[in-house]
A and B are shown apart, each in its own frame.
Chain A
Amino acid sequence: MTASHSRPQDAPAADRSDLVEAEDLKIHFPIRAGIFKTEVGTVKAVDGISFQIRRGETLGMVGESGCGKSTTGRALIRLREPTAGTVRFDGVDLGSLERDKLREMRRRMQIIFQDPYGSLDPRMTVGSIIAEPIDTHHLAKGAARKERIADLLRIVGLDPQYVNRYPHEFSGGQRQRIGVARALAVEPEFIVCDEPISALDVSIQAQVLNLLTDLRGQLGLTYLFIAHDLSVVKHISDRVAVMYLGKIVEIGPPDSTYAAPGHPYTRALLSAVPVPDPESERRRKRVVLQGDVPSPVDPPDGCRFHTRCWLYERLDKPAECRTVDPLLRTLQGEQEVACHFAEKALETDVGVAHIGHVPVRHGTPEAALASIRPGDGGVAAVAQTVGIEETSIDPSGSTSIPA
């Protein structure tokens, strides 16, 4: 894969400028009813959010269904026209671009979808799925095109011989790799990963997550990683944004966001995540939010979370929460929170009580690792996995990028 533009890891650290900027982004959907399809209301899917993603950074975005995280992801790469606000990519306002220029720009941004079954055309071969963006953007022809498709398959850990197979011949994890290869085909700088592993089994999730981590390092990619699973987001992100009902309620580096969350909603989310450790499960202090997320058609006045907020109850329902919509403000360091009483939230141990007791990762015991003898019976297995302890030999040994 030839790098056609400078990769961020080449740039000096000080030059970590913003690659993607969203400013006061709003995406509303009209609700129409009756025979004249008159507008009877609007779903405020995304309701005024601003954030930046720096070059080479991974911004994680978490929240429950309907909070607007996927809509935000689509708006960033202009798959959705925002109702208001601007998205700038590499300093250029995407809304101001003509069609041709926008298409040119689109080459630099791609998306990986959640559903590896629905996002690949069942009647196209893997080769033609990956070739489509190459052809659209006239990136390669003839032998070079073929070579490029083979390269891409190798990069995502698939055998280039599979080029003439159809998606149904692959498992979910392999299909997601095909989706990744398609996204990489145009050598993008920025990839929106929209719940890329949610539909996969646990052991396959880890494979795809490792692939995305490797690619980020090798190709210097910038990700917006959208997921509902807080542990996955923590694993891969440099910064995490928590969304609730179309707003960002907290954003910051995972170390502070997870260890000392300032927003009561972040704490409630953390307290709800099941931890695979019976000991911490017993210790945890859970806040179970009652009821469902309110409708984004008619979000609550003031702070949108106050109708379910445990801190609001504890502080004896301060009027401010009902009347004033809190803005994002700096809490500590890079951590920003949209809560009037974030300092009060910090004083509690809600949602973090079980973190104080550091859970031990009980996976493969040391004795087992020590038992792997090179040249032993399970040669194939050992050869495949010998890299796991150190760093980065992919299962197929093919993650390396041809120069």
Chain B
Amino acid sequence: MARPEDATTEADAPTIIEISPADVRRVRTSAEPGLAKRRKADKLLSVRGLSTHFFTPDGVVHAVDDVSFDVDYGETLGLVGESGCGKSVSALSIARLVPNPPGRIVAGEIIFDGIDVLKLNDEDMRGLRGKEIGFIFQDPLTSLNPTLTIGYQIAEPIRQHMTLSQKAAIDRVVELLSKVGIPRAKDRLNDYPHQFSGGMRQRVMIAIALSCDPTLILADEPTTALDVTIQAQILELIQKLSDEFSTAVLLITHDLGIAAGMCDRVSVMYAGRIVETGTVDELFANPRMPYAWGLLDSLPRLDDVRGDRLRTIEGMPPLLIEPPDACRFEPRCRFSRDICREREPDLTPRENPLHQARCWATEPDGWIA
């Protein structure tokens, strides 16, 4: 099938962007004018003791269990973990989009920009979604409505949340489309999602997410469905635009490489819990939790010697129905001792107070201190 846009894309776009290392890594200070303008509270997002459970015929699934984290203004926080660890449900909970039934937020507090999200009525919540919080999901084909033009879909949140004349709204849509790198944006407003390739659709999603100048973007596996060169394009775009607009990003990914390249701080989730959290450098250079070790060990890397066996994490994650009061990683852990089966460790600070881990062994008086 010929995709008409392919030819135009190549003709219009410059062939390469080279990014020097200095550009790739932004150094952010809270004194930046863009950030200072946005700041209304101490932290942009503060999640405390969040528990989201799913009430299924088989029992209550503790998908997210007593999870706490913060996202600062303009910061990129990564939530990393494998399928079913609760990272996506955490993000959905923040936006109050957990399907109910079967899911329900049973405990916790979510303060976004000084607002107690869980106390908002539905109308105020709608005012937050799409305006202050933008979304980028994994699969742009199912997240976009196939029967509406992309121009209409990008304009929708603008019409909902901003008081702009029709002409001003159209201008804004065109501006957004060019910002996300869609060539000849004006001519493409009346195209439908199927006329775009996967990477282009994800750009449209990003345009929608940014349409009302949000303070936070929830990006749930934004590049998982894409090829590696397209993934690189989209990641650069998210990084560039979140910088330009001083937008904070909560990036949910299973890919440690993406987390290493994109995030300021990273939290690792396992079986509904945050098991380790720290700055990206600290977490990758000095992980303090056997699950994080296992994840890093099990990745084949470009510097591997051929035929090496990878150290793996044996077994599978536990079912989250009635989890016992014990370390949830213990059944798969090579370093466990009796205490790990008797009581669950807390998330406690390590040498660097910003670095926290949930592990008896690496506590200051533990056996792998």
Contact = CB atoms under 8 A, between A and B. Distances in A.
A290 B302 contact: no
Contacts of B333: 378, 381
A284 B24 contact: yes
Interface of B: 1-3, 6-7, 9-10, 13-21, 24-25, 82-83, 197, 199-200, 227-233, 235-236, 254-261, 280-281, 284-287, 290, 293-304, 306-316, 330-338, 340-341, 361, 367-368
Contact of A230 (B298, B302, B309): B302
B233 A210 contact: no
A278 B336 contact: no
A286 B228 contact: no
Lowest 4 A-B CB distances belong to which pairs? Answer: A274-B257, A206-B298, A363-B297, A235-B300
Given A201-B83, A275-B302, 10 more contacts: A234-B302, A258-B302, A278-B260, A281-B260, A286-B24, A290-B15, A359-B303, A378-B333, A388-B309, A392-B309
- Give chain A's interface residue range (CB within 8 Å of chain B): 35 or more
A237 interface: yes
B230 A274 contact: no
Given A236-B306, A272-B229, A203 B18 contact: no
A292 B312 contact: no
Given A282-B25, A361-B296, A274 B303 contact: no
A272 B231 contact: yes
B227 A228 contact: yes
A201 B9 contact: no
A372 B340 CA distance: 14
Interface of A: 31, 41, 64-65, 171, 173, 201-207, 209-210, 213-214, 228-232, 234-238, 254, 258, 268-279, 281-295, 297-298, 307-310, 312-313, 350, 355, 358-359, 361-365, 367-368, 371-372, 376-378, 381-382, 384-385, 388, 391-392, 395
A203, A206, A281, most chain B CB atoms within 10 A: A203
Nearest to A233: B300
B314 A294 contact: no
Contacts of B315: 395
A292 B199 contact: yes
Contacts of A385: 314, 334
A298 B299 contact: no
B298 A287 contact: no
Contacts of B314: 207, 384-385, 395
Contacts of B310: 206, 209-210, 235
Contact of A292 (B230, B313, B338): B230
Nearest to A381: B334
Contacts of B227: 64-65, 228, 293
26 contacts: A201-B82, A201-B83, A202-B298, A203-B82, A231-B299, A231-B301, A258-B302, A276-B260, A286-B232, A290-B17, A291-B10, A293-B227, A294-B6, A294-B7, A297-B2, A307-B15, A350-B18, A358-B303, A361-B303, A362-B296, A363-B297, A378-B334, A378-B335, A381-B336, A388-B311, A392-B309
Nearest to B8: A291
Given A202-B295, A231-B304, A275 B6 contact: no
Contacts of A273: 228, 257, 302
Nearest to A312: B15
A231 B310 CA distance: 12
A368 B335 contact: yes
A377 B338 contact: yes
Nearest to A265: B229
A288 B340 CA distance: 46
Contacts of B295: 202-203
Contact of A363 (B200, B296, B330): B296
Contact of B16 (A229, A287, A365): A287
A138 B234 CA distance: 52
A64 B257 contact: no
Contacts of B235: 274
A392 B7 CA distance: 51
Given A209-B300, A254-B306, A395-B315, A281 B261 contact: yes
Given A209-B300, A228-B227, A281-B24, A287 B306 contact: no
